[in-house]
Structure 1
């Protein structure tokens, strides 16, 4: 299984986007993360890393893995696709990906539409981190009118 992390400068925006994507996600882990950790607008690498680990099935308490036996890393964790809203969220997500023990990639996609596409793609039994990222990035071409 492939997990998904939604990163926004607003905690409420991240939660709302994750809520919408979860409607299409089945059992996929979707973790929202946002805000500066003090109730304000921003992003924090440590919080993003924790969300990546949670989406990968890595237990924050003891570092153990609860990953899927049908994919993911050899250590048992699941790969993760990270979606970000803007600017510094990309930089902080990049840092978090480097810090995390999980296999994680950042999708160059619109955060809401990309999260929904990623959620749908992640429900496929043969989904890979690359196939989920590709579907998230395909959301750039969605026309609304």
Structure 2
């Protein structure tokens, strides 16, 4: 199953998004948080992201979702360091993208489909 890692500057935010995404993934989706820095403060950590990726990866790939700024840069560094196609960063809203990705991953979909589901979250407008 495709794993999902939520990267945020805030540990609490990453854990909250993961809580919601896991619920929407009906307990099947593997969704891991990577929030804050190594000391528990605000920031991002390559080590935390790599650890979350290792936990989420069962061989079918891992989708990364990041909140902003250095979280995105950290995700890109982890992908570059991995040197493979088994990690993708979604250009998606954090909460909505994580929920869409977890829902799709729970069906057993491949990495491309989970990635597409996350990015399609932009299409689900809250007003109109």
**TM-score, normalization: structure 2?**
0.92
SS at structure 2 position matched to 1:30: strand
Bigger helix fraction? 2
**TM-score, normalization: structure 1?**
0.81
Gap regions ≥5 residues in structure 2: none
Alignment of structure 1 residues 1-145 onto 2, 5 Å: 1-25=1-25, 26-56=27-57, 67=58, 77-100=59-82, 103-125=86-108, 127-145=109-127
RMSD: 1.4
**Which has the bigger relative contact order, CA under 8 A and spacing at least 6?**
2
String of CA shifts for 1:83-136, please: whole Å, max 9, x gaps: 0000110111111123347711000000100000001111113x1111000000
Gap regions ≥5 residues in structure 1: 57-66, 68-76
Question: Would you say how many aligned residue pairs link Structure 1 and Structure 2?
Answer: 125
- Structure whose alpha-carbon radius of gyration is higher: 1
